[in-house]
Amino acid sequence: MEPNELRAALEAILFVTNEPVTLEELVDAFGEEERSAIVTQLDEIRRLLEANVGGFMLEQTAGGWRLATRPEHEPTLKKYFAKKGENRLSLAALETLAIVAYRQPVTAPEVNDLRSVNSTAVIRTLLERRMIRVAGRKNVVGSPFLYRTTRDFLVHFGLNDIRDLPRLEEFGDLVGENLNDDVVAAISTAELTRPEDVREITDDAEREVAEAEARAELASMESLETITDES
């Protein structure tokens, strides 16, 4: 395929795809013989977008490439989506995500302790929004579920890898909210889960069953908390 033709095809794929597109997915579409040319044209697309400054850029995130709006347009976009009623993450959800991101894998009781408030409803919402996932169970009494962040979490915050997370003190800048100082302090001093205490889930079918069980368990805990509050 001619370079210009390949570049145009790549641009078309990037334009119509919501999720970051990986190199392997592009190689599957165009053939192994085009691997080197695909990398070259991705770099060329990025160069052209940087040279002709407009509303878009090509960024690498979550192990793939996607077209994204430029950071300088963020204030205007925030105003636009505020009027459109975009469903943003609450401060409680952002605090919970910070705990999971910086201390993963972590259990629901551990999240509750670090936030000093019952967070089961928030955890269940983040599971449903695929910001976190069930990673396995902790080898302690009760075998509670362990949670980790997901690829959707990386995409939402424009990160290529969990290792790209900023320092905890800078997480508020990433999410656009000031996190509670007590929560930040609690996260920074919390112990990490020891690898030997993790019973990891690696099978997709098993994880699907575990996540259904986790959502049901969280809903039950949430109902129990409501009954307790009303008593």
pLDDT, tens digit, 9 for 90 and up, residues 184-214: 999 999 999 999 999 999 888 898 899 889 9
CA-nearest of 132, 109, 124 to 190 is: 109
Residue 157 and residue 103 share a domain? yes
Does one domain contain both 148 and 177? yes
- Count the neighbouring beta carbons within 10 Å of the beta carbon of residue 1: 15
Residue 139 lies in a domain: yes
Number of domains in the chain: 2
What stretches of 104-203 show up as alpha helix (H) in DSSP?
108-115, 120-128, 151-156, 171-175, 181-189
Is 107 in the same domain as 192?
yes
The answer to whether residues 132 and 120 touch, using CB atoms and an 8 Å cutoff, is no
Q: Are residues 66 and 95 in the same domain?
A: no
Residues 6+ apart with CB under 8 A from 228: none
Cβ count near 164 (within 10 Å): 13
3-state secondary structure at position 184? helix
- Residue 140: Cβ within 10 Å count: 11
Does 53 lie in the same domain as 107? no
List CB contacts of 161: < 8 A, sequence separation 6 or more: 63, 154
| CATH number reported for the structural domain that contains residue 10 in this entry | 1.10.10.10
Residues 21 and 120 in one domain: no
Cα–Cα distance for residue pair 149/105, rounded to 1 Å: 9
- The DSSP symbol for 69 reads E
**Residue 87: per-residue pLDDT:** 55
Contact 145, 199 (CB under 8 A): no
Using CA atoms, how far residue 98 sits from 119, 137, 148, 197, in Å, is 13, 20, 11, 21
Q: Are residues 125 and 31 in the same domain?
A: no
Geometric angle at alpha carbon 89, from 102 and 75, rounded to 5°: 105
pLDDT tens, 75-111? 887 766 665 544 578 899 999 999 999 999 999 999 9
**Within-domain flag for 138:** yes
| Low pLDDT (below 70) residues in the chain | 79-87, 223-231
pTM higher than 0.75: no
- Can you give the pLDDT at residue 231? 46
Contact 9, 42 (CB under 8 A): no
Can you give the residue range of the structural domain that contains 129?
91-230
Q: Where are the beta strands (DSSP E) in the chain?
A: 56-61, 64-69, 106-107, 132-138, 145-149, 198-200
Separation between Cα atoms, residue 62 and residue 152, nearest integer Å: 8
